[in-house]
Structure 1
Amino acid sequence: MPNDPDDESGRHSGGSGSGAGSGRPGGGDSGTPDGFPFGDPQQMADMLRQFADMMSAQPSPGGGGGASPSSTSGINWDMAKNIARHTVSQHGDPSIPPHDYAKVEEALRLADLWLDQATDLPSGVHTAQAWSRSEWIEKTMDSWAQLCDPLTSKTVQAMGQNLPEEMQSVAGPLLGMVQQMGGMMVGQQAGQAIGELAREVTGTTDIGLPLAGEGNAALLPPGVARFSEGLEIPDDEVRLYLAAREAAVHRLYSHVPWLRSHVSRLVEEYAAGMSFDVSGLEDKLGEIDLTNPEALQEALSGGVGGESLFQPEDTPQQKAALGRLETALALIEGWVATVVTAAVADRLPQANALAETTRRRRATGGPAEHTFAALVGLELRPRRLREASALWSALERERGVEGRDAVWQHPDLMPTGADLDDPEAFVSGGEFGGADFDISTLTGEKPGDKPDDKPDDGGDAGTDRGEDA
């Protein structure tokens, strides 16, 4: 267990005085080896061991502690799941009553029928359910781990590999311990962020991905109620609108087999471009009491409203990848918005108000979404939603519903960021957009082949056309 800070106050006050073992660079301790910038090496080793003991000794809420990391990045996602469940249970998370379950199931089935008249893609809903927030966490955690691992692993690596050269030469084998502690901290933060997100989401597709897998549609009655606050719109109408959005996303991913891997690859490209500025790390560490494990944990994590010691900096590669990812998310969200509007416009009197509320929510994000963005260094938001919606609407006017949806047949047919700037050029022809374009030139299919006969899922396709300048 960590030492009592009160017992250490005379030794590392961090102020004036020259008490031995100061946690500041050049602490004035005559026993401090020359050239070591962060105090006594033995003292730092003891602190790191104390910190590791503190982290490993913390119980996992709702279960036993010390689960093995469930990812190659060193992030303990089992611990993250338990912390997320604990986060929602603190605010109360009752099971869904049977009558609420029935309302959600009926809304999902009815809204899915409405979509038949708005899109050429068939239904993608296999199960229609109502979940509590804890159930949402349990059934989406695998997707969060897969989505966030490329991002969080870069942060953990930076905690050891990107330290100043003089610290690496002294720390030596302690770097592995630093990374292990980093993995624990990021896992804790991920759990807290996902737990807060669970209190805001309305279903499995709020971020534009079916987090529980294709076909597993669900709404969270507490999230639907929270979405309804202040709208003065009947609950049944709100539920049906959100059900239509949930069902539309499942249609898209169920019948566009390359889409999930395409989005995942764009996230990986963004992570590959991440870089960390550690130029001021020594100065920041100099302001921290290194003999206090709690103080180091707060500094590494950023504390409450603070700035973490490891903040990603913008790089050209990262910016280019982010542009491609934001374009893909905008196209997904724009298609969903277009299809849902067509399906519910004549059925829900407040459809326009609900569409605008959803648009603002996706464009700005909520507090929990910002927290999660700070954790992984990425905001999964469709910044060009209006432009994407306008492009899909223009395609429908020019080519009809079938022609609009045919664009999803292959990633090389998809609009780019430049196409969002000039949608008319894309709609009227463009490189691939002509009405007489033969999809078999990209897929290798012969006319009349079934979609299931495609040679591959196209997950790595579309990079030539999909890249923004």
Structure 2
Amino acid sequence: MTDDQTPWMRLLRELFGDDAESALEELERMGMDPAALAQASGMLSNPAMMDHVLGQIRALVAQSQGEDVNWQLAHDVARGVAAQGGDPTVTAHVAAEHRAAVSRAELWLDAATDFNPSGREPRVWSRAEWIEATMPTWRVLAGPVATSVSQALSGILRAEGDAPGLGAESSALVGSVSPTVCGMHVGQAAGEMARDAFGATDLGFPLLAEPRVVLVPGAIDAFADGLGIPEDEVRAYIALREAAHVRLFSAVQWLPGHLHNLIEKYAAGISIDVEALDDAVRDVGFEEPTKLQEALTQGIFASHHSDEQRETLESIETLLALVEGWVQEITVRAAAPHLPSIGALREMMQRRRATGGPAEDAFATLLGLELRPRRMRDAAALWSRLSLDAGPEARDTVWSHPDVLPGAEALDDPQAWVARWLSGAEEDDVDRALEALLAGGLGDDEEGQESDRPDTGTAQSDAPDDGPDGGTPRG
């Protein structure tokens, strides 16, 4: 029987060249029937479809050569997921409404904090525009972990599909599966985040290289639907939160990089549960990349963490809590004279941040890390007490340096920490810590004397006390 009489064999020959027969035997050994698949897909009766499929496969193989993750595919999948259910272009009228909400928010914030606006023009984006602007950040943060998953998956797939008769072209196709699957995985997660994000700071850290207020009307409208609160109040509240985040990240220039570094540090220590990943591959096989991509969400990260990772995790959790607590305090103070529904809106946002949404869940599937500020209420209480007892200016000076910030132990008793701060004890501790850091040329005797000093309990820039309270590892 000629290839013309068996179009699916022509498909295999296009893919595997001289290895087609060996590839067919290997596929059948794994329980696949290429003829049945081709018949079910309609390719046998539609040459144009077969040409299209071949073109897609060739493109995937070409894109994946030399890459552990197919980033172009990640981008394309993210755009597709973000567009599900519709993603209309932002009209001039809608953009004007949201820019007006940002302008009002900035005026209200002027009365609540001395931190200045970023000075950059706000953006009103569709979900697709959000994807385009934030994908570089996802590539930096998720790239190392995605690469580790891809390399582990590639090793498993090659072991599963190893056959002596397969040549270079067959090997290239098998080798493209892992970058393809991981590209789909990253793209799916980024697309889910795009569907849920109000702006560029939803996760508690900035997704853009430069602090800028961003609003996504589609997500804001979806959040407002069913709340029973006027849409303009919801829009104003979201604009306030986004603008408050941006003011903080713009004024406290060390903060965005510090948060990113902590997340990257945590991600660098993640290990892959190869046994769990192997089980997932065995369950779904590798003939269906979509199912294999879904399997990557099923506990593939090792549940154990090093002491360094646990310290970094505590730092991330505490720092996120402090950021979210400060934003809540500033937002409530700024909104109170203007938004009758501020109480209900604040409660809804607290629930959303505490329970997580698609954005947090999607990020967790990428890094095994839930970015939820679980102690946000404690942090908000600390900032509120500091505002009442010392005033807004003194409150905001606490952000002047990472060593000045309250650590995790301060959230156990915010009132006690504020009392220590007002008495000057915290500042004295910080001064001593800074002196120790600056005394880099101490001799052995002096170093021994330094080490005898009591623990200050203050947060260090790389210490576990710095972190935010919102990240829980997923095992």
Question: Normalising by the residue count of structure 2, what TM-score does the alignment of the two structures yield?
Answer: 0.73
Going from structure 1 to structure 2, the CA distance change for 1:101 and 1:393 (only over 3 Å counts) comes to same
- 1:418 and 1:314 map into 2 onto residues whose CA distance is 24
User: Alpha carbons of 1:282 and 1:342: their partners in 2 closer, same or farther (altered >3 Å)?
Assistant: closer
Q: Secondary structure at the match of 1:379?
A: strand
2:413 aligned partner: 422
Question: How far did residue 23 of structure 1 move?
Answer: 7.0
Q: Does 1:302 align with 2:292?
A: no
Q: Partner of 1:265: helix, strand, or coil?
A: helix
- 1 CA distance for matches of 2:293 and 2:203? 27
Question: Does the CA-based 8 Å contact 1:79-1:187 persist in structure 2?
Answer: yes
Q: CA RMSD in A?
A: 4.2
Q: Which residue number in structure 1 is paired with residue 352 of structure 2? A: 361
Q: 1:239 to 1:300 in 2, by over 3 A?
A: closer
Query: Could you tell which deviates more after superposition, 195-204 or 152-161?
Result: 152-161
Q: Deviations over 1:53-107 (max 9, x none)?
A: x9995479xxx8678679x983333322222112233422211121111111111
The code of the aligned residue for 1:428 comes to: A
Mean Cα displacement is larger for which, 98-107 or 433-442?
433-442
CA, structure 1 residues 413+169, in 2 after alignment: closer, same or farther (shift >3 Å)? farther
Q: TM-score, normalised by structure 1?
A: 0.74
* Cα offsets for 1:408-437 (capped at 9, x unmatched): 111111122221112233212269864678
Residue 234 of structure 2 corresponds to residue 244 of structure 1: no
Deviation of the 1:438 alpha carbon: 7.8
Which residue does 1:313 correspond to in 2?
303
Residue of structure 2 in register with 1:135 after alignment: 129
Distance in 2, Cα, partners of 1:224 & 1:125: 23
Q: How does 1:21-36 map to 2 (within 5 A)?
A: 21=29
User: Which among 392, 408, 411 is matched to residue 383 of structure 2?
Assistant: 392
Structure 1 residues 21, 238: CA separation in 2 closer, same or farther (over 3 Å shift)?
Answer: closer
Residue equivalent to 2:462: 463
Greater shift, 181-190 or 329-338, is seen at 181-190
Distance 1:105 1:276, change over 3 A: same
Q: Pick from 326, 339, 342: which aligns with 1:335?
A: 326
Contact between 2:148 and 2:272, CA under 8 Å: does it hold in 1? no
CA distance in 2, matches of 1:80, 1:284: 21
Alignment of 1:150-169 (within 5 A): 150-159=144-153
| TM-aligned CA distance change 1:283 to 1:244, over 3 Å | closer
Instruction: Tell me what 2:266 maps to.
Output: 270
Q: Give the letter aligned to residue 302 of structure 1.
A: A
Q: 1:276 aligns to what SS in structure 2?
A: coil
1:193 to partner: Cα distance: 2.0
More helix as a share of residues: 2
* Residue aligning to 1:232: 228
Q: Is the 8 A contact 1:127 1:215 kept in 2?
A: no
In structure 1, the gaps of 5 or more residues are 14-19, 25-53, 446-459
Superposition deviation, residue 345 in structure 1: 0.8
**Aligned twin of 1:259:** 255
Q: Which moved more, 1:376-385 or 1:351-360?
A: 376-385
Q: Residue 205 of structure 1: CA displacement? A: 1.4
Distance 1:156 1:113 in 2: 48
Shift of 1:144: 1.8
Find the counterpart in structure 1 of residue 183 from structure 2. 187
Summarize the Cα distance change of 1:57–1:403 in structure 2 as closer, same or farther, 3 Å threshold: farther
Unaligned runs of 5+ in 2: 1-10, 16-20, 33-51, 439-458, 468-475
Q: How many residues align?
A: 404
Give the one of 68, 83, 86 matched to 2:77.
83
Tell me what 1:406 maps to.
397
Hey, what's the Cα distance between the residues in 2 that align with 1:22 and 1:406? 64
Q: Quick one: structure 1 residues 183 and 440, their matched pair in 2 at CA, closer, same or farther if it must change by over 3 Å?
A: farther
Task: List per-residue Cα deviations over 1:374-421 (Å, max 9, x = no partner).
Answer: 233222221211111111112222321111111111111112222111
- Structure 2 partner of 1:457: none
Match of 1:326 in 2: 317
